[in-house]
Amino acid sequence: MLVYTLKRLGLALLVTLAVSMLSFALLYLSGDPAAAIAGETANAEDIEAVRIYYGFDRPWVVQYGEWMFNAIRGDFGTSYYFKLPVSQLVAERLSVTMLLGVCGISFALLTAVPLGVAAAVRPNSIIDRIALFLSVMGQAMPSFWFGLVLIVLFSIKLRILPPSGSDNWQNFVMPTIVLGYYAMPAIMRLTRAGMLDVLGADYVRTARAKGAGEFRVMFKHALRNAIIPVVSLAAVQMGFMLGGSIVVESIFALHGAGYLAWESIGRNDLPTVQALILVFSMFYIVFTFLSDLLNAWLDPRMRVG
């Protein structure tokens, strides 16, 4: 288990390094940063002054090293637009994104797992068909379109939920559903497939032979084994959601990190974009790493090997 953990950790660090280089390179990929800062009206001399002031004239490696060093200390520079420390901006917005992520994954798990179990217990039943329908819908509908449908329905027609903002819990209802519904189909199908597999297992028959009731057989004996891959999928999706909530946050004008990213791209606010990309990728990497650990921890065959 220790060797396994170390291996995974090493891999995670390598990916982090690659991602950090990419987000650093973004500065140059999007054109001359000095020109961007100096503004449209600046002449060549102004741009050169900015270049020297910001240190863009130094070698790449030095700039990357400095940027990374600062980033590790939590200093991502100053936002071109807000003229505030990027770290402060991001930290403020991240709590909203994390709340949305937790709500989204909970919504996905709470709907997908029971539905997947029910579908597996009675394959080809009405429930199974409904589950299949919901999952195909979830895959087919783009998030932004589903979000707009919900806004039309609940905010404009029924007037029971606010269409945008992030002030109280009502603001989170629709974003949670849209984000959660995005993750739901994969979780549901994995639960269903896992349960179908496990329900035919000899140890499930053993549990029945001991006199265990149906509920105990399903949840203690079957689901406990079927859920292992589901948990790690959910962890990966959670990481993805924290970074991938850009679309959802912008539809509902939920002032989270995703919304900030969307705004910052529009404003050409490179330090903020860089920081966000790094943070989003870190979430993804950390949760993928956690998912591997969780997988090993839930499966005794991997835990005690």
Q: Could you give the residue ranges of the DSSP H alpha helices within 200-256?
A: 202-209, 214-216, 224-244, 246-251
Of 171, 210, 27, 194, residue with least CA distance to 112: 194
* Residue 301 interacting with other proteins (CB under 8 A): yes
How many C-beta atoms surround the C-beta of residue 20 within 10 A? 20
DSSP state of 31: S
Tokens of 279: 């943070």
Least distance in angstroms from the C-beta of 3 to other proteins: 18
The binding track of 125-164 with respect to other proteins, each residue x by CB under 8 A or -, is ----------------------------------------
Smallest separation, CB 128 to other proteins (Å): 15
Other beta carbons within 10 angstroms of residue 182's beta carbon come to: 24
Instruction: Give CA 163 to chain center in angstroms.
Output: 22
Residues in binding contact with other proteins, number by CB under 8 A? 21
Q: Which stretch binds other proteins (CB under 8 A): 7-15, 144-152, 169-177, 204-212?
A: 204-212
Binding mask 269-298 for other proteins (x = CB under 8 A): -----------------------------x
**By C-alpha distance, which of 196, 214, 180, 192 is closest to 113?**
192
**In Å, how far are 176, 237, 240, 297 from 105, measured between CA atoms?**
8, 8, 10, 20
**Which of 40, 44, 209, 215 touches other proteins (CB under 8 A)?**
209
Instruction: Please identify, using beta-carbon distances, which residue of 221 and 255 lies nearer to other proteins.
Output: 221
In the complex with other proteins, which residue's Cβ is closer, 103 or 222?
Answer: 222
Residues listed for the chain: 305
**202 touches other proteins by CB under 8 A:** yes
CA distance 155 to 298: 42
Tell which residue, 121, 87, 284, has the closest CA to residue 198.
Answer: 121
DSSP string, 130-150: HHHHHHHHHHHS-HHHHHHHH
203 lies in the site for other proteins, by CB under 8 A: yes
Part in contact with other proteins (CB under 8 A); list of ranges 74-82, 101-109, 212-220, 261-269 = 212-220
Q: How far is the C-alpha of 45 from the C-alpha of 246, rounded, in Å?
A: 38
Interface residue with other proteins, options 201, 232, 259, 294 (CB under 8 A):
201
Q: Which is nearer to other proteins, 95 or 206 (CB)?
A: 206
- The answer to the question of residue 48 lying near other proteins (CB under 8 A) is no
d(CA 298, CA 284): 21
Closest approach of other proteins to the CB of residue 291, in Å: 18
Task: Work out whether 210 is an interface residue with other proteins (CB under 8 A).
Answer: yes
The nearest distance, CB 203 to other proteins, in angstroms, is 4
> Which residues ranging from 220 to 259 are in contact with other proteins (CB under 8 A)?
221, 224-225
Binding region for other proteins (CB under 8 A): 201-203, 205-214, 221, 224-225, 298-301, 304
